[in-house]
């Protein structure tokens, strides 16, 4: 390799590594802000890394699994409330007035956007269903029932 090529190789490699390092630092600094949602434990105990708790009245997203047997529907209108839980074991109640997505059901992971009304309750104006990365035919899913494969990877 002649000296000029060597110099270009050096400059190009430095460009790429320098950029990678700076972007990595930026992303590290923004870590908290890039998360799409809080988990129920993070709302109650504060973020894992910083311990920052959301304030009451703050608009936020929450992601967790719908706790079975907590979905309560108002028979006369679209109002619904349910509890969300994550691996941390804490649960938060979500109130919503609207149409839930098709995938919504007990045990399903969901992401809700709304306002924190007190430490453990959220008034949501949008509810999105989060599905996991597993794909299988219904027969296989039936065979696996009870093995608790419907997990949410919210607490990594």
Point out which residues bind other proteins (CB under 8 A).
Answer: 5, 8-9, 12, 15-16, 19-20, 23, 27, 31, 34-37, 39, 63, 100-103, 111, 126-142, 153-154, 156
Q: How far is the CB of 38 from other proteins (least distance, A)?
A: 8
Cα separation, 66 vs 59, in Å, equals 20
Nearer to other proteins, 28 or 76 (CB): 28
Q: How far is the CB of 144 from other proteins (least distance, A)?
A: 9
Nearer to other proteins, 65 or 100 (CB): 100
Q: How far is the CB of 78 from other proteins (least distance, A)?
A: 14
Nearer to other proteins, 78 or 136 (CB): 136
138-149 CB burial, b ≥16 within 10 A, e <16: eeeeeeeeeeee
Nearer to other proteins, 21 or 56 (CB): 21
Q: What are phi and psi of 150, to 5 degrees?
A: -80, 80
Bridge-based pairing of strands 121-130 and 91-97 is parallel
Contact 33, 94 (CB under 8 A): no
22 in helix, strand or coil? Answer: helix
Q: How far is the CB of 150 from other proteins (least distance, A)?
A: 9
Nearer to other proteins, 117 or 153 (CB): 153
Which two three-digit tokens encode residue 122?
A: 């959220």
Q: How far is the CB of 132 from other proteins (least distance, A)?
A: 5
Contact 87, 58 (CB under 8 A): no
Which two three-digit tokens encode residue 61?
A: 């997203």
């Amino acid at each position: 390799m002649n000296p000029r090529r060597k110099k270009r190789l050096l400059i190009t490699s430095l460009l790429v590594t320098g950029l990678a390092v700076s972007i990595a630092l930026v992303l590290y600094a923004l870590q908290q802000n890039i998360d799409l949602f809080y988990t129920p434990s993070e709302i109650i105990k504060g973020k894992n890394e910083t311990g920052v708790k959301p304030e009451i009245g703050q608009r936020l997203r929450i992601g967790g699994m719908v706790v079975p047997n907590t979905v309560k529907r108002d028979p006369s209108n679209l109002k619904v409330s349910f509890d969300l839980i994550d691996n941390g074991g804490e649960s938060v109640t979500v109130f919503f007035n609207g149409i839930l997505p098709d995938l919504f059901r007990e045990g399903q992971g969901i992401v809700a956007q709304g306002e924190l009304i007190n430490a453990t309750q959220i008034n949501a104006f949008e509810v999105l269903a989060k599905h996991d990365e597993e794909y299988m035919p219904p027969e296989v899913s039936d065979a696996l029932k009870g093995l608790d494969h419907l997990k949410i990877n919210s607490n990594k």
